[in-house]
Structure 1
């Protein structure tokens, strides 16, 4: 068991560090190539910060463990919406712009409902996964157009980009391209290795302690791969940038559902475990509705509402371990 735990923890550390290097290297190369910060935010940063979840799910799907793959998708969104937003709102009550809330939050809610319906009926087919990826491309195109024509209402992905670039690019404005390329390559290698070790450790641990792979994905894997979003949102809240914290969560939720869910369905089509269909997805739908109610009432998430979100997360975490 100790070897499984060590492999799991090593995978977490390498995966998170690799994701950080991937974003840093890609953003610097893109800027040197003349890409705008908006385009970088909509593509490279949005993809890079979701890379840990993506690689973990892909490795799990390839290893024949769809429970971990889909549990990671649903569990990461639960962690984003309950744990991360709850913690950020406790630090500073979160002001919610109505545009991004209904556009980005609404898209995530609709995608979750569709995924639950498909999971309950036909299962995740390759066609369904392809459709999710097409919707993601459409969303990115619309978000880019909306940013160019309506600059006041920043989208979730753009806000996430600003928070990450702000702490990085000013330190290395003149960095050589070859060094940025090496950083990018190191990040890719670390993500691949970290994702593989993470899944291997999780599968072995699940078998040893008798916990289902879906529950491992909903809890351990989901929390670990959500650490980049956790750090970004908490720092943003501490600095008083509540819109960045909210945008980080909404953007990550969309990427998790459309990108990671789409790729997982394409690579490993088939039925989704009952723990996800009967418990994880209905809970995520209820969480998304609750979050939008909190945000719409007074256009802010208060500290006591943040405390409710945190309590709900730890409550479902205990239920996952004990009952599911």
Structure 2
């Protein structure tokens, strides 16, 4: 067991990693978004593609860092924990700030893919492994989802007479934002994994538990900040779209890429507890959104309480 003063190093790494991931994601989102607009892409198209993938970057970098540390538990646990935290914690807190309205487009186009991603993950993982072939399947489904979003968004814009902007060109500051953001994500993911793993390992927790809790919440900070700010500003549909998109990309992009690098081994305990928890949180969220097309403050309390219960049972 580390002495009190020795705990300061992993604590500092953990805190610095969370800050670096948050700052890196913010810089990447800002820079990539402006670069895409600068070359003439529609704002809506940027939102459902570039921004959605950029906010998933922390989970991707942490997962790949875990792979090179010979642990696929880090990647799987981070994705499962992050998706559950996105629903229970991020949307729960956002709904407490202000009730969240759910658009018809989100219910018809985005939410079904979120359910599909969760069901697909559980379905292919029941045999205890996500193979390279199944990882390729995730990536193919992701490509189809992204193409569908771009097509439908452009079709909507065209029907409303919204033409793509000519764009102001590529600015060096935006390129710098992207590069600095990527560097911060790489460094921050390493610090978060090292600090969080060393700290909780000293207290006897497994790498999977660490990934499901500390790393998952840490990598969900961009979503939490974006959704909470969106709710506070009255942009409630953005708060829901942010989480739904992130949960889709977490499964299809992060686990798809990790499985292509190396097959992901899944523990029996994960199949018995975390998989059902992901499905339950996902279906409860869908039921809440379909009822009245609004996430109320009461729903927010239920989601936060559900997440607290998940962490409690996880620690048992």
- TM-score of the alignment, normalized to the shorter chain, above 0.5: yes
Query: What is the TM-score with the length of structure 1 in the denominator?
Result: 0.88
Question: What is the match of residue 241 of structure 1?
Answer: 235
CA contact (8 A) 1:8 1:202 kept: yes
- 2:93 paired residue number: 87
Query: Is structure 2 residue 57 aligned with structure 1 residue 77?
Result: no
Secondary structure of the residue that 1:129 maps to in structure 2?
helix
SS in 1 for 2:61: helix
Q: 2:13 aligns with which of 7, 19, 24?
A: 7
Shift of 1:35: 2.5
- Matched with 1:170 is none
Q: Which ranges of structure 2 fall in alignment gaps of 5 or more residues?
A: 1-6, 159-166
Alignment of 1:225-264 (within 5 A): 225-264=219-258
2:68 alignment partner in structure 1: 62
How much has 1:41 moved relative to structure 2?
Answer: 2.1
Which stretch of the first structure deviates more once superposed, 289-298 or 114-123? 114-123
How far did 1:174 drift?
7.8
Q: Which residue of 2 aligns with 1:146?
A: 152
Unaligned runs of 5+ in 1: 153-172
Distance 2:72 2:97 in 1: 36
Q: Quick check: 2:55–2:223 contact (8 Å CA) kept in 1?
A: yes
Question: Shift of the alpha carbon at 1:284?
Answer: 0.8
The match for 2:4 is none
Structure 1 stretches of 4+ with a deviation exceeding 6 A read 173-176
In 1, distance between residues paired with 2:168 and 2:229?
Answer: 26
Q: Distance in 2 between matches of 1:200 and 1:37?
A: 37
CA RMSD of aligned residues (A): 2.0
Residue 295 of structure 1 aligns with which residue? 289
- Cα distance in 2, alignment partners of residues 39 and 67 from structure 1: 33
Structure 1 position 25 matched with structure 2 position 31: yes
Check conservation: 2:48, 2:245, Cα contact below 8 A.
no
TM-aligned CA distance change 1:214 to 1:47, over 3 Å: same
Q: Distance in 2 between matches of 1:150 and 1:88?
A: 28
Q: 2:76 touches 2:264 (CA, 8 Å); kept in 1?
A: no
CA deviation vs aligned residue, 1:104-162 (integer Å, no higher than 9, x gap): 2222222212211222215110111111011111001111111122359xxxxxxxxxx
Counterpart contact for 1:30–1:40, Cα < 8 Å: yes
Q: How does 1:158-177 map to 2 (within 5 A)?
A: 177=171
Q: Is the 8 A contact 1:118 1:124 kept in 2?
A: yes
- The structural deviation recorded for 1:268 is 2.4
8 A Cα contact 1:70 1:261, kept in partner: yes
1:317 equivalent in structure 2: 311
Does 26-35 or 62-71 show the bigger shift? Answer: 26-35
**Counterpart residue number, 1:271:** 265
Aligned length: 303
Give how far 1:175 is off: 10
Give 1:65 deviation, angstroms.
1.7
The range that moved more, 204-213 or 69-78, is 204-213
- Paired with 2:268 and 2:212, the residues of 1 have a C-alpha distance of 13
Distance 1:136 1:270 in 2: 18
Residues 1:6 and 1:175: Cα distance change in structure 2 (over 3 Å): farther
1:22 shift after superposition: 1.4
Instruction: Give the C-alpha shift of residue 102 in structure 1.
Output: 4.1
